[in-house]
Structure 1
Amino acid sequence: LGSKPHIYLEDLQNGGIAVVCESSGWYPEPEAKWEDDNMNNISSSIEVKALDSRLQFHVKATYIFSGHPFTLSCCIRNPILSQWKQSTVHITDAFLQRISSCISNRLLISAFFTVPGILLSLMAVRLVNKQMELSQELGALREELDWRRAQRFA
């Protein structure tokens, strides 16, 4: 039998969380699955690959976390001996609240920088438009002044 399954969490690029289970030293190629606390199979990504020249296999099972508290077990089975190795993790509300507050903080920081950036951009556009308007008005006033000077000397 291979090693006891090792469970850990990975932060995904999209802000989600993956629960990952890994085990090595299996022969023949093992079967792997995730189960919930009611022993129901949960769909996941299972990757099995040969590790070394002794044809021992390494298993990596990944479950994308759905956002509610649960107990999750990673089960790896030798199909010939029908023997299992299993590890279990329980994800609590407290953990989810930390994740939620972390996401809230990221959103708050993003809003803190985004809103002023938009306001500054709008102000810059208004200033440029006002400058163009004043420049045109100044040109018209200069033309009028030149015309009046010309009328005075004529």
Structure 2
Amino acid sequence: MKKKSSFPILLLSVVFFASCQSSGKSEREEPSSELLIESFTSWNGDSLPAYPSGKPKISIFKFTIPPHSELPRHYHPVINAGVLLQGELTVVDEEGNELHMKTGDPIVELVNKIHFGKNEGDEPAEIIVFYAGTEDEEIVVKESGPTN
């Protein structure tokens, strides 16, 4: 009686094991990245200024704007950008241009231009903002006096 080779069974076992291993890897989530925004201009189309000279300082703030409330009119002397984490927010510049943001939306904010944000929604709006300034420079300046 001729003895059967076990090679085909061994080969099928290896292929099956390898396919199980590779399918296990594809089910596991891998790190990823997503560009939210990249721009040479702020949200209303104004060109961004050059970065200031001096010792660099990065600041990161989380702001919470309660429902049906408004931030004071202000401006930023430095480049800044953010991402709305929760809620809705409308940003208005001194010319009446508006940007309506929803959860997850990015923004490249205005520089040296008076503006404000308002939350017209029923839940708090939370936004993380990154400021690229220098050690002796303010990042937010509240408007003093009436607007034009």
Under TM normalisation by the shorter chain, which class is it? under 0.3
- Alignment TM-score, normalising by the size of structure 1: 0.24
Q: Which has the larger radius of gyration?
A: 1
- Alignment TM-score, normalising by the size of structure 2: 0.24
